[in-house]
């Protein structure tokens, strides 16, 4: 593969910038819808807090789970181009279905977004990697540029879509997200000649052969994808099913990883045990981190003073602090790790996980400090600014090293299974995040005369749950620090 014809811009293949803007608008769509979802469920569809957060958790969990299957189907049958186009179409349709305005249309639309995201998100980053030769020194820089696009999309979503949706009506916000997804589709399609040098874009030959009643695998996968939408409807609306589904899948995946490690000798046995432990730590981190879209947004809506020079920031818009801090600090952290490595002071992987979880816990404890210093049942907006700052720096300690760590720990013949297990951890984390958020629920919708009483009860509940999360996370962080040497030993030199 040669990219000399498509590589003059900023020293990178031109296709990178097509994929940059496609992914930016896809993230605009996904995070825009997600920013509004909990508030829409509670304020528009009149769901109780507990029901709303469980729906949110099931939805975001299924989004990550779908990516595992979407990547495999593209690798084996669809090719990356068709998979991304199919995903973009389904996501756009899903956003516009939500405009139907009731529970049924919402759940069907969410099902379409889940399936579409599984195809789109799983495969666009794969094309980015395939724009470069195996040992191309530009690869890491290319992925850094691509990652900036993800965060710009998230930042725009949590400002523009969140503001429009809460100020002018949720349906306008969801429509903006849908238009963003159509923009991603059009950019990807009309810029297709710029990334055509990437391998694996085309439909696989075996997928073109008739399989059943004259239909080939492409036809069957598309029909199966449409049939999966009502299945997602059921899983979201009856989300208790996912307790057993995700637990069963996790046990099977953990067993498969450790068994494969044993088959490859004692070193890989130990590394796979370490990987399962890191998967559990990753689940813990993200289950608490993902309170951003549920309990922290409801807390902002009810118990945070969001007035800024006479203008009240919409509650959904408070989610923008995380992507803003990622953009500000991301490059600083990347330079910091290089400098620490040169000094021989770069923390080990277990210690980075421990520091990340420590900062996450301290972020939650900011609410406890604010509550002690505040009169009434509201805290100042600076509370969320500091909380999200600590959560973001914690994310930067933990998130960027995960994928690289998995590829280093796993035997080559099960690299795909190991990566699927890592993505599965995000699915489980998001689902558990909904469960944790439901602990903050009082589900009491009092009369006007009882509003102050409801605010007091809500305030106490939020502060109690957030502070408990903070203490537990700090305890887990200390345990990881204590176990860092045994974990490093299990990793057999992987850093």
In the block, residue with structure tokens 């280093």:
408
Q: How many domains does the chain have?
A: 2
Burial call 308-325: b when 16+ CB within 10 Å, e when fewer: eeeeebbbbbbbbbbbbb
* Domain boundary, last residue among 239, 260, 290: 239
In a domain, 2, yes or no: no
d(CA 195, CA 98): 33
**326 and 354 inside one domain:** yes
The SS3 call for residue 137 is coil
**120 and 209 inside one domain:** yes
In a domain, 5, yes or no: no
* Domain boundary, last residue among 213, 239, 265: 239
pLDDT (mean) for 34-59: 95
pLDDT in tens, 255-311: 999 999 999 999 999 999 999 999 999 999 999 999 999 999 999 999 999 999 999
d(CA 443, CA 139): 49
pLDDT in tens, 160-192: 999 999 999 999 999 999 999 999 999 999 999
**268 and 404 inside one domain:** yes
Can you read off the two tokens belonging to residue 376? Answer: 């009434």
**394 and 307 inside one domain:** yes
CA angle 432, 434, 436 (to 5 degrees): 70
pLDDT of 92 higher than 80:
yes
**313 and 441 inside one domain:** yes
**233 and 254 inside one domain:** no
In a domain, 230, yes or no: yes
Q: Can you give the residue range of the structural domain that contains 472?
A: 241-495
d(CA 166, CA 335): 38
In a domain, 3, yes or no: no
**230 and 330 inside one domain:** no
**190 and 319 inside one domain:** no
In a domain, 1, yes or no: no
d(CA 279, CA 361): 19
d(CA 389, CA 332): 14
pLDDT of 4 higher than 60:
no
pLDDT of 130 higher than 90:
no
Can you read off the two tokens belonging to residue 358? Answer: 């420590």
Can you read off the two tokens belonging to residue 420? Answer: 């699927």
CATH number at residue 36: 1.20.1250.20
Give the N- to C-terminal CA distance of the chain in Å, as an integer.
Answer: 31
CA angle 50, 54, 60 (to 5 degrees): 145
pLDDT in tens, 378-396: 999 999 999 999 999 999 9
pLDDT of residue 453: 53
Whole-prediction pTM value? Answer: 0.91
Run of H or E including 304? strand 304-305
pLDDT in tens, 186-221: 999 999 999 998 888 999 998 999 888 889 999 999
DSSP string, 113-158: HHHHHHHHHHHHHHHHHHTS-TT-TTHHHHHHHHHHHHHHHHHHII
pLDDT in tens, 441-484: 876 443 344 455 578 888 999 999 999 999 999 999 999 999 99
pLDDT in tens, 304-316: 999 999 999 999 9
**220 and 268 inside one domain:** no
pLDDT in tens, 17-32: 999 999 999 999 999 9
* Count of other CB atoms within 10 angstroms of residue 419: 16
In a domain, 30, yes or no: yes
**Cα radius of gyration (the chain):** 23
């Amino acid at each position: 593969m040669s990219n000399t014809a498509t590589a003059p811009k900023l020293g990178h293949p031109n296709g990178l910038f097509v994929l940059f803007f496609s992914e930016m608008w896809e993230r605009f769509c996904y995070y825009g819808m997600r920013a509004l979802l909990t508030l829409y469920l509670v304020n528009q569809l009149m769901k109780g807090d507990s029901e709303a957060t469980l729906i949110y958790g099931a939805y975001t969990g299924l989004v990550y789970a779908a990516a595992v299957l979407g990547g495999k189907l593209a690798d084996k049958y669809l090719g990356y181009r068709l998979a991304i186009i199919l995903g973009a179409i389904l996501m756009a349709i899903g956003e516009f279905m939500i405009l139907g305005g009731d529970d049924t249309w919402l759940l069907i639309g969410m099902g379409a977004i889940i399936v579409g995201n599984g195809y789109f998100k799983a495969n666009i980053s794969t094309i980015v990697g395939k724009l470069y030769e195996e040992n191309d020194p530009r690869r890491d820089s290319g992925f850094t540029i691509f990652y900036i696009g993800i965060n710009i999309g998230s930042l725009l979503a949590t400002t523009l879509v969140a503001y429009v949706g809460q100020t002018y009506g949720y349906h306008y916000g969801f429509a903006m997200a849908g238009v963003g997804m159509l923009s991603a589709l059009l950019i990807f399609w009309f810029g297709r000649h710029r990334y055509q040098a990437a391998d694996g874009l085309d439909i696989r030959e075996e997928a073109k052969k008739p399989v059943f009643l004259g239909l080939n695998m492409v036809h069957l996968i598309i029909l199966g994808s449409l049939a999966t939408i009502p299945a997602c409807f059921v899983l979201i609306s009856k989300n208790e099913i996912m307790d057993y589904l995700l637990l069963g899948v996790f046990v099977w995946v953990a067993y498969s990883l450790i068994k494969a490690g044993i088959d490859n000798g004692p070193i890989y046995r130990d590394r796979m045990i370490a990987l399962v432990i890191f998967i559990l730590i990753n689940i813990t981190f993200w289950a608490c981190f993902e309170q951003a879209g549920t309990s922290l947004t409801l807390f902002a809506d009810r118990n945070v003073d969001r007035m800024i020079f006479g203008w009240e920031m919409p509650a959904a818009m408070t989610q923008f602090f995380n992507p803003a801090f990622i953009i500000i600090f991301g490059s600083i952290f990347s330079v910091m790790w290089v400098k620490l490595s040169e000094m021989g002071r770069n923390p080990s992987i277990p210690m980075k996980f421990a520091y990340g979880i420590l900062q996450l816990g301290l972020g939650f404890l900011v609410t406890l400090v604010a509550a002690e210093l505040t009169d009434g049942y509201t805290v100042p907006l600076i509370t969320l600014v500091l909380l999200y700052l600590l959560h973001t720096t914690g994310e930067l300690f933990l998130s960027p090293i995960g994928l690289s760590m998995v590829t280093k720990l796993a035997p080559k013949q099960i690299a795909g299974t190991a990566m699927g297990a890592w993505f599965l951890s995000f699915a489980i984390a998001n689902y558990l995040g909904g469960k944790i958020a439901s602990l903050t629920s009082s589900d009491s919708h009092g009369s006007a005369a009882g509003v102050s009483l409801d605010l007091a009860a809500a305030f106490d509940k939020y502060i109690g749950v957030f502070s408990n999360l903070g203490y537990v996370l700090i305890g887990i962080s200390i345990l990881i620090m204590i176990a860092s040497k045994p974990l490093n030993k299990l990793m057999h030199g992987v850093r």
